[in-house]
Amino acid sequence: MCEALVREGVEVMFGIPGGAIMPFYHAMWEYRDRLRHVLCRHEQGAGHAAEGYARASGRVGVCVATSGPGATNLVTPIADAFMDSTPMVILTGQVGSHLLGTDAFQETDFTGITIPITKHSYLVTDAAELPRVFREAFYLASSGRRGPVVIDVTKDAQQARVIPDWEPEMELPGYAPRADGESRSIAQAARLLTNAQRPLIMAGNGVIMSGAHGALLALAERTGTPVVTTLHGLGAFPEDHPLALGMPGMHGWVHANRAIQECDVLVNVGGRFDDRVTGKASTFAPRARVIHIDIDPSEIGKLIPVTVGIVGDARRVLEAMTRLIPERRHDAWVAHIREMQATHQPRQAYMRRPDTSALMPHDVFDGLNAALHARGPYRVVTDVGQHQMWTAQLLDWRRPRTLITSGGAGTMGFAVPAALGAAIAAPDETIWVVVGDGGFQMTNQEIATIRQEGITNIKIAVVNNGYLGMVRQWQELFEQRRYSGTPLSGPDFAKLAEAYGAMGLTVTHAGQVDDAIDAAYATPDVVVIDFRVEREVNVFPMVPQGKSIGEMITDQPAA
């Protein structure tokens, strides 16, 4: 198994040993110069770390656990990776094959549990199958629509002695991902875009996964088509470009959503029309003929009717389309959108600081945004909630793979361990964690892992408002301020950081933000900054659940 990992190019994996996976760990000692094992504090942390490594590097992330609770603790990161199309191989130990089905100690049907949330799950009882299974697993994880693959290996298969065949044939009948797209559909899409008067491109995660950001830029500039980027698409198109409109959807900008509602041709590249983007699907882009480009054929027409569906790799399809389209400009259309932006965006509360001495969340993001673009390469890893949306809205995204977040599953506790993986994948960059006080308290024990590994390029910004903030916001806006189960206490996060041997800072006033960020950069170690922000600030704009993206709440309703 170690040799198979090395042959697949694996250099690092994240895990925790236990009884049913001990033979693998025993063999790993002989591979310690080629396989770096990161001992996490919880299997969920190991899974998210593998996700962070994969998202930052573009390679397959690997995590390891024993049977029973070790394996089931990985269910959340596996589901997260499945929702966000993150390539990952999960290696778990299983009880001996003679004990399968007997309710033996730490036996669970892990392949059965994970079938709905993986591309494939293998149960291996014969060591001779391991070379083929590993080859197939890494191919499945990293081809077509990326995703997680489980390899569950019984203890006797780990202990068996065989002469492996390292050139096995893969046995994947029916699995043939298409990359190039169908030429007739590409030509039809090119004609639609050529004749459009109000075209719009929506760029999703598939653009980043396929490395299509250059092809996207070329198509947008050749056709003069403005671009919106979904949460997972942020960074696929530089936001300082004249055609960039920013993020649409539930917490997207008004002008971005209205551009969707007014466009006559919408090209969705590598996005899956998530309900957080579309709002009420039947009212989405009512005037548009829709072109949908996706590597997964099951996504075409699943939620939004399409005029042209193209199954293929985003980069290859965009390059083929660009070759067929003459140069176009849509100055009047772009100017119209900019007028909407000029009308609505300055009304956002973030754009006009209230006259208060309290630390506002946007003070934190102003300071971070300035520092990120002044100080060199970075990645930002967020958790889930209000801070995630502020991060998406208020930081300028200019480079692919700079934002790593949990989109589809919306997993609180994702950020700190995912940053661990990202820091190993990008050791020469600064990894900023932006996390709420709720999510931070779910997985901050992985700071101990970060310290043990000697990782120094992680800085953690806790946006601490003493609530499960996004849930509280919904309770305020839609449930008559009944704050049920959302007020949240916690320890002194600065002292907690010091207990882990890291540096901790507390910020309570806007004037302290820049000094704290400067101190974090000046400290060659993990730093935790506890930003104690105003407690009841809301994220706007906001589309109420079940409503059209044309029906946005843009500011605090009158009391």
30 as an active site residue: the answer is no
441 as an active site residue: the answer is no
Of 8, 43, 129, 299, the catalytic one is: 43
470 as an active site residue: the answer is yes
Can you tell me the distance from the alpha carbon of 198 to that of 202, in angstroms, rounded to the nearest whole number? 13
Can you tell me the distance from the alpha carbon of 294 to that of 313, in angstroms, rounded to the nearest whole number? 7
155 as an active site residue: the answer is yes
Provide φ and ψ at 99, rounded to 5°: -100, -5
Residue whose C-alpha is closest to residue 245's, from 199, 290, 212: 199
Of 105, 302, 339, 545, the catalytic one is: 105
Cα dist. 45→116, 183, 217, 388, 416 in Å?
A: 21, 44, 36, 19, 8
Of 119, 134, 138, 155, the catalytic one is: 155
Which two tokens mark 550? 């044309």
Cβ(137)–Cβ(152) below 8 Å? no
Please name the amino acid found at residue 263. Answer: C
Helix axis angle, 386-394 to 469-478, nearest 10°: 100
DSSP string of 128-176, one letter each residue: GGHHHHHHHHHHHHHSSS--EEEEEEEHHHHH------SSPPP--TT--
Q: Around 530, how many Cα atoms within 13 Å sit in the side-chain half-sphere? A: 21
Of 470, 503, 542, 552, the catalytic one is: 470
Helix or strand or coil: residue 220?
Answer: helix
Cβ(549)–Cβ(261) below 8 Å? yes
Helix or strand or coil: residue 549?
Answer: coil
Of 3, 11, 106, 536, the catalytic one is: 106
Which two tokens mark 435? 């996390």
Residue whose C-alpha is closest to residue 155's, from 105, 88, 209, 225: 105
339 as an active site residue: the answer is no
End-to-end CA distance of the chain: 62
Cβ(417)–Cβ(45) below 8 Å? yes
- Order of strands across the sheet with 503-507? 403-404, 378-382, 430-436, 458-464, 527-532, 503-507
Tell me which residues are annotated as active site.
43, 105-106, 155, 470
